[in-house]
Structure 1
Amino acid sequence: MGFIKFEVPNSLPVEDAKKRVEALLGYWNRKYGVSSAWDGIAATMKGKAMGISIDGKLAVEGSRIAGEASDPGMLLRGQAQKYLTRKFAEYLDPAKSLEQILKAED
């Protein structure tokens, strides 16, 4: 199985960005049962969402969040990349506090 790569810009300090990515991974855990584990500024993800296996890793870097995840196949690849980019952009939006983002989840 191949992987799709993703990269989203980040203008927040690394620690703030990591907290927000932790919140996003928590959301995916609650919504889809995707588990995650952290090692410093890097995380791994594993699980299944909407019948699609997820196996990925990411790193919170100074000006970006970069990673790769299992490729869901040609038919869903574009949708998966758009979803990842959109969710990371939502959680890394410097115009919103983490509390506002978490409140919008409900």
Structure 2
Amino acid sequence: MIDQNPKRSEEPVWWGLFGAGGTWFAMITPITILVLGVLAPLGIISHDSLNYEHVADFTTSLIGGLFVFLTIALPIWHAMHRIHHGMHDLKFHTGILGKIACYGFATFLSLLAIIFIFMI
């Protein structure tokens, strides 16, 4: 028998943030590390292009602030979703409290990222 009124779930929201965070972390973060952690210290990228004024101008622009926020927030959502489901796989059934703790922590860090971006 098919249930005509299935229970709604908020799980697609968490899976969407999980997928977006994993994709961002797999595709954008290595490029960021390559540029800022390898190419700039080796002198391949000019130090003048990464001085404080240029970086501050970038991060205070809409695109730059969004990039910094997504670089911080999306991997956090990915990690917290993985931890939440990993605890379940390890037989730590925390129920709604574990969900609130994991997703609440991700929300808190995302809001903190927004605050720090606006403080720049």
Tell me if both proteins adopt one fold, taking TM over 0.5 as the criterion: no
TM-score of the superposition, structure 2-length normalised?
0.31
TM-score of the superposition, structure 1-length normalised?
0.34
Q: Which has the larger radius of gyration?
A: 2
Indicate the structure with greater helix content: 2
Indicate the structure with greater strand content: 1
